[in-house]
Each structure stands twice: as C-alpha cells, then as structure tokens.
C-alpha cells in the first residue's frame, strides 16, 4: 500500500466521520422530540467515537509515513507538526497510547485465560 492509498483511505474515513456527525445531530434532535431514548443516543455516540479513534490513528500513521528518514530532518518535521503531535496525545491516538491499549487488552485476555485454566 502506497502513501497515496493511505491518504485516500484517510479522506474516505473523514467523509464518513462527517456523515456520522450529522447523523448524531439528527439523533440528538430525535431525542429532544421524544422519538428515541437516551440509551440509543449513547450507543450512537459510542459508534461515532470509535470512528473518530480510527480516523485519528490513520492520521498518525500518515504522519509516520511522511516523516523524513534522515535524522537531521526529523526535529524540523516534529517542530512543524508539534500542534498535530500534541493533538494526537490528547486524543490518545499516538503510538504510546495504542501500545498501552494493546498491552491492557493482552493483560486482560491472559488473566481471563488463567481463570479458565484454573477450573
């Protein structure tokens, strides 16, 4: 997969995110009019947040793909993208957050497996 393909995929995800955001506004209005329950709205918000996380992670992958190979150019690239990097950290979409989330999931699975094998 080329960087061009990842960019194209990213733009498609952004379009989907915008559509879902519009749908969320419609659901909020439906809640105010009494057509749906608060629980249904929370389910929709959860789905929108999942899509946001996917978009953020693909954006971080694009950042990494476009990062220069030369170590001498990396500080300038990081400085130019400092605002973006800070946003990744706030959104928990950077590499450390993903590794931490994966480690947490693995620990949980291993604990479940240990419980099952005890029986």
The answer to whether 91 and 99 are in contact (CB under 8 A) is no
- State mean pLDDT over 83-92: 75
pLDDT tens digit sequence for 22-71: 888 888 888 898 888 889 888 888 888 888 888 888 888 888 888 887 88
When mean pLDDT is compared across 17-31, 43-57, 80-94, 98-112, the lowest value belongs to 80-94
Q: Which residues of 63-96 are buried (b: 16+ CB within 10 A; e: fewer)?
A: beeeeeeeeeeeeeeeeeeeeeeeebeebebbee
Q: Does any domain span residue 46?
A: yes
Is the same domain home to 72 and 35?
Answer: no
Q: How far apart are CA 65 and CA 49, in angstroms?
A: 24
| pTM score | 0.66
Structure tokens at 70: 């030369």
Q: Does any domain span residue 62?
A: no
Q: Does any domain span residue 77?
A: yes
Is the same domain home to 77 and 50?
Answer: no
Domain hosting 103: range is 67-119
pLDDT tens digit sequence for 65-80: 888 878 888 888 888 8
Q: Does any domain span residue 60?
A: no
Q: Does any domain span residue 111?
A: yes
Q: Does any domain span residue 78?
A: yes
Domain count, the chain: 2
The runs of H, that is alpha helices, within the chain are: 3-32, 38-66, 74-80, 82-91, 95-118
């Amino acid at each position: 997969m080329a960087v061009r393909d990842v960019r194209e995929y990213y733009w498609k995800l952004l379009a989907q995110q915008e559509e879902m955001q519009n749908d969320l506004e419609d659901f909020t209005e439906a809640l105010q009019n009494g057509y749906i329950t608060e629980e249904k709205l929370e389910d929709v918000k959860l789905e929108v947040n999942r899509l946001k996380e996917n978009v953020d992670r693909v954006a971080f992958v694009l950042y990494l793909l476009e990062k220069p190979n030369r170590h001498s150019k990396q500080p300038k690239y990081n400085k130019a993208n400092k605002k973006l990097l800070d946003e990744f950290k706030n959104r928990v979409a950077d590499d450390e957050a993903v590794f931490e989330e994966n480690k947490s999931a693995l620990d949980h699975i291993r604990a479940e497996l240990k419980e099952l094998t005890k029986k």
